[in-house]
Amino acid sequence: MELDEFKKSWDAPRREGAEPGRHTRATLERIIERNTSALGELREKSAFWNRIGGWNAALLLLLTVGYLAWNYHRGLGGSALAVKLPLVAVLVGFALFSGWTYRRQEEIFSENTVASSREALRRTLTAFNKYYRFTNAVFLVVSPVAFYAVFELPSLGLPFATSSLASVALTGFSFLIRYWYYRAVFFSRIQAMESNLRELEEAPGV
């Protein structure tokens, strides 16, 4: 009997247009609509950068392999080419990592579509926050080495200190551009989704 009475007390406000947690049905629909809109925009932007990132990664791989083939054709000795292989490996690894980051970002905003609105939103936000922290950490470590490889691979003859300083400076500049872009395009929508999640958590059963 107590269970039946609980079900009746739960269903009554839903039939009247109100939800537990001080939300009306119309309010919840607006929250879910805002969330769906933000997810759609982030998915669309991520898909665009996934295409661009794939092209960039392929281009970097082709240029790296082409550079080695060109030097081999010029008669560069095997020992001299072997010295450059670690630098080539860095650029290949950076290209593969860059391609993965864009693919993963698009996946984050495309998965969890069958979960409840609240659970899907929670999973998406958690995945994005982990992704952003992880990619930033890897970028700050790998990017200076990749820039250094760009300077050293063509044998420009720059001093080690000069190449290292330029690599660190370019990494910092690239990181600032990346942060500015995410702040302008992603963070405002992520914050709105976090606000949506807090509101949805006040309404059990969503």
Residue from 59, 186, 89, 57 nearest 131 by CA = 186
In this predicted model, what pLDDT tens digit does every residue of 110-168 receive, in sequence order? 887 655 577 888 888 999 999 999 999 999 999 999 889 888 877 777 788 998 999 99
pLDDT for 34 equals 78
- For the chain, percent of residues with pLDDT exceeding 70: 76
Q: Locate the DSSP E strands across 20-112.
A: 23-24
Pairing type for strands 23-24 and 18-19 reads antiparallel
For the residues 50-78, what does the mean pLDDT come to? 73
Q: In which band, very low, low, confident or very high, does the pLDDT at 173 lie, cut at 50, 70 and 90? A: very high
Q: In which band, very low, low, confident or very high, does the pLDDT at 2 lie, cut at 50, 70 and 90? A: very low
The pTM of the full predicted model, rounded to 2 decimals, is 0.74
Q: In which band, very low, low, confident or very high, does the pLDDT at 171 lie, cut at 50, 70 and 90? A: very high
Residue found by looking up tokens 């992603």 in the block? 186
pLDDT for 132 equals 95
In this predicted model, what pLDDT tens digit does every residue of 8-23 receive, in sequence order? 433 444 444 444 445 5
